[in-house]
Chains A and B, each alone.
Chain A
Amino acid sequence: MEKCNSFVFNNLLEYLVPDVSNILYKISDTKKDVVEEIRLKNNKPILIYYNGSDYFVSKTGQLIKDQKESIYITKEQLQKTFQIISNYSVYAFEEEIKSGFITLKGGHRVGLAGKVIYGPNGIETIRNISSLNIRIAHEITGVSNNIMKYILKQPNTIYNTLIISPPQCGKTTLLRDIVRNISDGMPRYSFNGLKVGLVDERSEIAGVYNGTPQNNVGLRTDILDGCLKSDGIIILIRAMSPDVIATDELGSVDDIIAIHEALKTGVKLISTVHGEDLEDIFAKKNLGQIIEEKIFRRIIILDNSKGVGTVRDILDGYTFRSILH
């Protein structure tokens, strides 16, 4: 059930300047299915990234390795693309631009690079946009179905769970799907859905566009979009009475404080963290601490040894022994 197919790709092309999108439109459907990123830079060739390497695009829409045949994007075309992406309204995306990306309809994200302007309160805006990186959202539903049995706890609750994964190994995808399963409930395990509070700091999990989540995160999920994890956890506990709180990419001291706060109220946690394995996490100052405190009872470790999103191991957070079978 991959959401990223040629149809999604064609929809995305609406955000590009017609000169460029007309050429990208000619890319064959099978290639469109797997494209992960479209990278645009001032007066540089257009790069399409998929399956771990990048390709140039020829005038006829072929994906090639030869730079000479490649089509280029001019500064004006890039500016216009940025205008279309920001819907001619820089003011409406002030906060997003400050954090360096804009979320599009469909949950796709456009990363920005350019001249950063500082004001009295930190980054004020990014001007003279020089690079756009369009990341196509991959929502894959059902990836967590087989591991849910390790997370669910009788009666009708879950274990605090941490997902450890290197970048680009599908940790956000997995988290999103776990959230969906917890929120919707799983009749197979006679598990009724729980209220989930989702702090989506980088609009990656739910992909909220204009107040509507573009990805399926379940029917009992409340989303705080673009909110700092440390603030969001407290707000959710106070306001939405969640049973479970889900966030992406723990790391800062404030996050850890907020987690302790959440545990006091008896809320369950699900989160992810960047890392290769458990030792890697122990080496990190703040995170090592919470692992030692044995807050997380289930630790899922991902890698891409058998393709993106391979579950390498699932550990019991108490004994650090594998419970995967």
Chain B
Amino acid sequence: MTILKIFGSLLIILSSSLMGYMYGICYRDRVNNLVLLENCIKLLETEIIYGANPLPDALMSVYKKGNQKVSFIFKEIADELIVNKAETAFECFESVVNILKDELCFKDEDIELFLTLGRTIGTSDRLDQEKNFKLILTQIKTLEAEAKLSKDKNEKLYKSLGILSGLAIVIILL
């Protein structure tokens, strides 16, 4: 009986600390992914402002050059653009929102910024596009700083919270 109890308690502690760890790691991933996304957007800027490549080609090239942990979303958008003619570029950007949320740990404000990019991209001449890219890149910097702060604050917190809440449940049950 005691063995069973100990085994059960261990199971509870293990799963709750795992939960805490997962929560914590999401904060770290968000920071990393934001930095990678920034790089990708910079690549896209070069493709568009200096290369004047058409959008599907530019997106594919970002996918190839960028860190594919994040840059795969640009491939998704390019595929969507080529296949689905009835959609605007913005709608194609919208189609990857779920991926951004679930796989890349982005928060709503990050996604909103990304969609702002989708709203303006390709709709105007190079000068105007350049201004838009500048704006987006400054904003993403702000988001990165904010994400780093909340990571420092929350990552450890959630990890310890996981372990401690596991312990608490075990103590209560015992």
Taking Cβ atoms with an 8 Å cutoff, the residues of A that contact B are 14, 17-19, 80, 83-84, 86-92, 94, 124-125
Contact = CB atoms under 8 A, between A and B. Distances in A.
Contact of A90 (B49, B53, B85, B124): B124
Given A17-B85, A90-B125, A91-B122, 13 more contacts: A84-B85, A86-B122, A87-B54, A87-B55, A89-B52, A89-B53, A89-B54, A91-B49, A91-B52, A92-B52, A92-B53, A94-B125, A125-B125
Interface centre among A18, A83, A94 (most CB of B within 10 A): A83
Nearest to A77: B86
Nearest to B124: A90
Contacts of A91: 48-49, 52, 122, 124-126, 129
B34 interface: no
Interface in B22-71: 48-49, 52-56, 58
B54 A88 contact: yes
A88 B55 contact: yes
B83 to A, nearest CB: 11
Contacts of B124: 90-91, 125
A88 B81 CA distance: 8
B123 interface: yes
B150 interface: no
21 contacts: A17-B85, A18-B85, A80-B88, A83-B88, A84-B85, A87-B54, A87-B56, A88-B56, A88-B121, A88-B122, A89-B48, A89-B58, A91-B49, A91-B124, A91-B126, A92-B52, A92-B53, A92-B54, A94-B52, A124-B125, A125-B125
A288 to B, nearest CB: 40
B89 interface: yes
A19 B86 CA distance: 8
A17 B88 CA distance: 11
A176 B85 CA distance: 34
B48 A17 contact: no
